[in-house]
């Protein structure tokens, strides 16, 4: 139940629960979170939105 409740928050990519003696250990790997991405273009070169989306997706950020 603990693992399911934590996964439902969508904050964690991986969750491990173990117990040794009377100690409960919970190992968490957080999902990456980015509040926003702001791109400023100060040159003649333009980055296509599709290229940006591919990079973000490859990093599990889209």
Q: How far apart are CA 49 and CA 37, in angstroms?
A: 12
Q: How far apart are CA 55 and CA 50, in angstroms?
A: 9
Q: How many CB atoms lie within 10 A of CB 6?
A: 15
Residue-range definition of the domain harbouring residue 27: 2-58
Q: How far apart are the first and last CA of the chain?
A: 29
The per-residue pLDDT for 41 is: 66
* Tens-digit pLDDT profile for residues 4-62: 999 999 889 999 999 999 999 999 999 877 777 777 767 666 777 788 888 878 877 66
What is the pTM for the complete model shown? 0.48
């Amino acid at each position: 139940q603990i693992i399911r409740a934590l996964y439902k928050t969508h904050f964690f990519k991986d969750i491990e629960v173990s117990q040794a003696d009377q100690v409960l250990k919970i190992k968490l790997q957080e999902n990456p979170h980015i509040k926003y991405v702001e791109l400023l273009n100060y040159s003649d070169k333009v980055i296509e939105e599709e290229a940006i989306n591919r990079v973000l997706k490859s990093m599990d950020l889209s």
